[in-house]
Amino acid sequence: MAEERSVALPRYMRLRSSSAGKYLRFTDDDIQQHGHLQFTGETAVHSPYVKFEVEPSRSVRGLVHLRSCYNNKYWVRTSPTQVWIAAHSDVPEEDQSKWSCTLFSPTYLSSMVTGGNGLPDHFFRFRHVQLDHNVGVSPWGQWPFTDFLFVRSQSSNAVVVVDDRFAVTDWESLHVLPATEMPRPGTSNIDTVFWPVRVNRNVVALRLPGNNRYCKRLTSDGKTSCLNAAEVTISVFERLEVGEWVRKRSISNVQFRLLDARIYNQVPRTLARTIVTNNSSQTNTPVIRFRYRNTISRHWQSTVSFSYGISSTVSAGIPLFTDASLTVQWELSSEYTWGQTVETSEEQEQEYPVTVGPYTRATITFQATEGFCDVPFSYTQTDELFDDRIVTTRMHDGLYTGANLYEFHWENNEESLLPADEIKLAQEHVGVGKKKKEVELKVELGEAEIVADREEVEDKEE
């Protein structure tokens, strides 16, 4: 018998326990269990709670990071002393010596067709690399974490994993067609029910479960442009483009789930740098005005449903970083195409009073931190159809990705132009009561200028 070929994990997947047939789900209805992963009876293919992404390791071939598409966070142990797996980590961790390591090793076992769509489920085991044990379903009926995902540690020999085989379904094979508000015929006739198989984002092929064949357009025997379920494979003739019967769409009542926000890629940015040289024998106090461009990036998308390029009117606040915390600020209401990145940029100014000692060169650096965030959100989608009907749906699969600057600050590094004894002699020669303004400004990065002397500003205020 020929050896069965190995199967790679898809980019997006749904997991089902092999024994109980329950799907793995992100838990968000309890503070203690928030972010934990539990096997429940939920089977909805359009639920963001059951969608997970596979991200290959950057350092070790064959290892992967796994993360929830609900909050975009990685699977990780909840603490150094716990064995529960939760979607809590903002960043992937590849150091296998750390308890917070997010690497898993998948092992392919077998494949079989288990659903009515004719597509196979692939069975895998997942080994937690840092603990070197498989993850499994917690079997304790009396515990608050019944049917949760966990991994045995070296010291938990008394715990027996009752189920560590999981059926993996390629999420992108589970295409969700746009919902319609039209009467539905009975589905008892298997020849009138079709399964959509995704080809790309807005293209599908229809498979007839009755004969497991794909449909294509056929003109024959007096029938024009009919669907004929006769093809074994998908060619250009079986591809159907999916659109929505929507004239206008609006997004409102946006509720951001800041508790599930993922914060990452926080890096320092140098916005401007100047060199102030004081060639006089007295301390000078110039006020420097820095100019910089502040850019805010926004990206709205749905992790499960599709908008098929429909432009929407979005009314919502914007999550922004302020002093390293994430808050929802000013309101946005504008036309937006779902899935596109929009940047707004404006020129801003900051003034910095600096003290420069006699015969001293000061390098002034104006810096900020740039941070990125992924924030899941719920929203109300209101569609105006072409027959003038209004359809309103509450959705929970929104994901906002944004970036902005925050934590603005200055750094002042000084160096003396003369030895201390020479500075003293120069001061005695010029005289303490005489202040000689000899300040030079050199801009190395960005835009800056000296706008005033601090003492002059204070005199005007008095």
* Statement: residue 374 has pLDDT above 60: yes
Residues 36-49 have pLDDT tens digits of: 999 886 666 678 88
**In the chain, how many domains are there?**
3
Q: Do residues 147 and 16 make contact, with C-beta atoms less than 8 angstroms apart?
A: no
185 assigned to some structural domain = no
Which residue pairs, CB below 8 angstroms and at least 24 apart, start in 223-229?
none
371 assigned to some structural domain = yes
Q: Is residue 374 located within the same domain as residue 261?
A: yes
pTM confidence score: 0.75
Q: Is residue 370 located within the same domain as residue 399?
A: yes
Q: Do residues 151 and 135 make contact, with C-beta atoms less than 8 angstroms apart?
A: yes
> Phi, psi at residue 435, to the nearest 5°?
-105, 115
Task: Summarize the confidence of residues 133-156 as an average pLDDT.
Answer: 74
363 assigned to some structural domain = yes
Q: Is residue 131 located within the same domain as residue 237?
A: no
Range of 3-17, 84-98, 292-306, 389-403 with top mean pLDDT: 84-98
Task: Summarize the confidence of residues 371-376 as an average pLDDT.
Answer: 93
Higher-confidence position of 178 and 281: 281
Task: Summarize the confidence of residues 207-224 as an average pLDDT.
Answer: 85
Identify any residues that bridge with 108 across adjacent strands, giving them in sequence order.
124
**How confident is residue 100, by pLDDT bands cut at 50, 70 and 90?**
very high
**How confident is residue 88, by pLDDT bands cut at 50, 70 and 90?**
very high
**How confident is residue 54, by pLDDT bands cut at 50, 70 and 90?**
very high
* Statement: residue 423 has pLDDT above 70: no
What pLDDT does 404 receive? 92
Q: Is residue 115 located within the same domain as residue 164?
A: yes
Q: Is residue 279 located within the same domain as residue 146?
A: no
CB atoms < 10 A from the CB of 419, how many? 10
Residues 433-453 have pLDDT tens digits of: 444 556 777 776 777 777 766
Q: CA-CA distances (angstroms) from residue 82 to 25, 38, 71, 156?
A: 20, 16, 22, 10
Q: Is residue 79 located within the same domain as residue 198?
A: no
What pLDDT does 156 receive? 47
What pLDDT does 433 receive? 44
CATH code at 370?
2.170.15.10
409 assigned to some structural domain = yes
Task: Summarize the confidence of residues 349-360 as an average pLDDT.
Answer: 87
What pLDDT does 428 receive? 58
Q: Over the chain, what is the mean pLDDT?
A: 82
Q: Is residue 316 located within the same domain as residue 455?
A: yes
**How confident is residue 177, by pLDDT bands cut at 50, 70 and 90?**
low
CB atoms < 10 A from the CB of 211, how many? 12
What pLDDT does 434 receive? 47
The rounded distance, in Å, linking the Cα atoms of 375 and 301 is: 11
**Picking from 47-56, 230-239, 245-254, 417-426, which range would have the lowest pLDDT averaged per residue?**
417-426
* Statement: residue 159 has pLDDT above 90: no
What pLDDT does 1 receive? 38
**Picking from 50-59, 97-106, 321-330, which range would have the lowest pLDDT averaged per residue?**
321-330
Alpha carbons within 13 A on the beta-carbon side of 423: 16
Looking at the chain, the whole-number percentage of residues with pLDDT higher than 70 is: 81
What pLDDT does 120 receive? 72
Task: Summarize the confidence of residues 145-168 as an average pLDDT.
Answer: 71
Residues 306-342 have pLDDT tens digits of: 666 677 888 888 899 887 688 898 777 788 777 788 8
Q: Is residue 322 located within the same domain as residue 450?
A: yes
Structure tokens at 22: 């329950």
What pLDDT does 26 receive? 92
* Statement: residue 220 has pLDDT above 50: yes
Strands 85-89, 52-56: pairing is unpaired
What pLDDT does 302 receive? 85
What pLDDT does 308 receive? 61
177 assigned to some structural domain = no
What pLDDT does 55 receive? 95
Q: Is residue 454 located within the same domain as residue 305?
A: yes
Task: Summarize the confidence of residues 231-252 as an average pLDDT.
Answer: 85
Range of 171-175, 207-211, 421-425 with top mean pLDDT: 207-211
Q: Is residue 146 located within the same domain as residue 206?
A: no
Q: Is residue 159 located within the same domain as residue 201?
A: no
**Picking from 106-120, 152-166, 388-402, which range would have the lowest pLDDT averaged per residue?**
152-166
CB atoms < 10 A from the CB of 321, how many? 23
The residue out of 120, 144, 172 marking a domain boundary is 172
Task: Summarize the confidence of residues 196-202 as an average pLDDT.
Answer: 78
The rounded distance, in Å, linking the Cα atoms of 129 and 122 is: 21
Three state DSSP letters for the chain: CCCCCCCCCCCEEEEEECCCCCEEEECCCCCCCCCEEEEECCCCCCCHHHCEEEEECCCCCCCEEEEECCCCCEEEECCCCCCEEEEEECCCCCCCCCCCCCEEEEEEEEEEECCCCCCEEEEEEEEECCCCEEEEECCCCCCCCCCEEEECCCCCCCCCCCCCCEEEEEHHHCCCCCCCCCCCCCCCCHHHCCEEEEEECCEEEEEECCCCEEEEEEEECCEEEEEEEEECCCCHHHCEECCCCEEEEEEEEEEECHHHCEEEEEEEEEEEEEEEEECCCCCECEEEEEEEEEEEEEEEEECCCCCCCCEEEEEEEEEEEECCEEEEEEEEEEEEECCCEEEEEEEEEEEEECCECCCEEEEEEEEEEEEEEEEEEEEEEEEEECCCCEEEEEEEEEEEEEEEEEEEEEEEEEEECCCHHHHHHHHHHHCCCCCCCCEEEEEEECEEEEEEEHHHHHHHHC
Strands 246-256, 311-322: pairing is parallel
Looking at the chain, the whole-number percentage of residues with pLDDT higher than 90 is: 27
181 assigned to some structural domain = no
Task: Summarize the confidence of residues 10-29 as an average pLDDT.
Answer: 86
74 assigned to some structural domain = yes
Q: Is residue 262 located within the same domain as residue 295?
A: yes
Higher-confidence position of 455 and 223: 223
CATH code at 115?
2.80.10.50
What pLDDT does 142 receive? 44
In degrees, rounded to 5, the angle at the alpha carbon of residue 205 between the alpha carbons of residues 203 and 211 is: 170
The residue out of 172, 201, 233 marking a domain boundary is 172
Domain range holding 439?
249-461
* Statement: residue 373 has pLDDT above 90: yes
Higher-confidence position of 294 and 210: 294
The residue out of 143, 172, 201 marking a domain boundary is 172
Higher-confidence position of 326 and 418: 326
What pLDDT does 101 receive? 97
421 assigned to some structural domain = yes
**Picking from 157-171, 201-215, 328-342, which range would have the lowest pLDDT averaged per residue?**
157-171
